[in-house]
């Protein structure tokens, strides 16, 4: 087995173990393989090992990879910070966007999503660690933004996403993820039909799954260190 295939298997094992520990069933969280900075060949290798969902953070890099992998049936998720003037290719080429954190961005993606395509699947990014991170709507404003996004016809709001400040302390990891899980509960209580918590990365996916993650975004543990 190649390095990527065995790393993928190890990652799937971690996810299954955490899902079992969470009591939600062994496939409670889907794996998004974060391939940013790695070449198309690495994606091809992961696909050969059964991986179909990939996350990218840089628009130009992602478009080039899509081009060279056009022969494969892949699901592309945009997970990076998105500038308002870069929304068009994202609206046209990706299936998911995880980093929507302001109304202007949502409205542009909605206007630019081609009519013949299924709606763009969206997660609202929430800044759960306060001032330390720049991206993400503040938790107190997340539900208001969720109502707006849910009303846009070419978008389908699926849930929330967060990138908490890294910490080795599992209690603190879980505290941060719980903020996102609470928001999902509140939004559902208001009648929004959401099913997604995009949270957990290479270093904290166990904590995220214990708090209800349904998508974990894993780069380093699959493809190795980025430089
Ligand atoms: C890079 C990135 C990841 C992957 O992080 P790893 O620690 O390498 O697993 C996950 N989510 C987002 C938004 C990222 O930018």
Give the model confidence (pLDDT) of 149-158 as tens digits: 999 999 999 9
Protein residue with least CA distance to atom 11, ligand 1 = 217
CATH number of the structural domain spanning residue 138: 3.20.20.10
Task: Count up the domains in the chain and report the number.
Answer: 1
What pLDDT sits at residue 194? 98
Closest CA to 35 of 21, 51, 24, 20: 51
The ranges of the chain with pLDDT < 50 are none
Number of H helices, E strands in the chain: 9, 8
Q: Is there an atom of ligand 1 within 6 Å of 217 CB? A: yes
Q: What is the largest CA-CA distance in the chain?
A: 48
pLDDT digits (tens, 9 = 90+) for 190-211: 999 999 999 999 999 999 999 9
Domain enclosing residue 202, as ranges: 3-223
- The radius of gyration computed from the CA coordinates of the chain, to the nearest angstrom, equals 17
Protein residue with least CA distance to atom 15, ligand 1 = 80
Contact yes or no for 46/8 (Cβ under 8 A): yes
d(CA 173, CA 204): 7
pTM over cut 0.95? yes
Helix (H, G, I), strand (E, B), or coil: what is residue 107?
helix
């Amino acid at each position: 087995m190649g390095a990527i295939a065995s790393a993928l298997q190890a990652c799937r094992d971690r996810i299954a173990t955490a899902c079992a520990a969470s009591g939600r069933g062994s496939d409670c969280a889907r794996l998004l393989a974060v391939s940013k900075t790695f070449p198309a060949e690495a994606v091809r290798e992961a696909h050969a090992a059964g991986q179909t969902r990939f996350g990218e953070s840089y628009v130009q890099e992602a478009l080039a990879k899509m081009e060279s992998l056009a022969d494969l049936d892949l699901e592309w998720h945009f997970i990076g910070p998105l500038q308002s003037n870069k929304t068009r290719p994202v609206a046209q080429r990706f299936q998911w966007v995880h980093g929507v954190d302001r109304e202007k961005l949502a409205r542009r993606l909605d206007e630019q999503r081609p009519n013949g395509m299924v709606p763009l699947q969206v997660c609202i990014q929430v800044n759960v660690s306060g001032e330390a991170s720049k991206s993400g709507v503040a938790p107190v404003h997340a539900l208001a933004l969720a109502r707006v996004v849910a009303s846009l016809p070419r978008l389908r709001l699926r849930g929330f996403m967060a990138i908490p400040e890294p910490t080795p302390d599992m209690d603190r990891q879980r505290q941060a993820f719980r903020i996102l899980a609470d928001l999902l509960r509140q939004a559902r209580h208001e009648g929004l039909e959401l099913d997604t918590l995009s949270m957990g990365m290479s270093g904290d996916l166990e904590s995220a799954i214990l708090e209800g993650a349904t998508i974990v975004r894993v780069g380093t543990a699959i493809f190795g260190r980025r430089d």
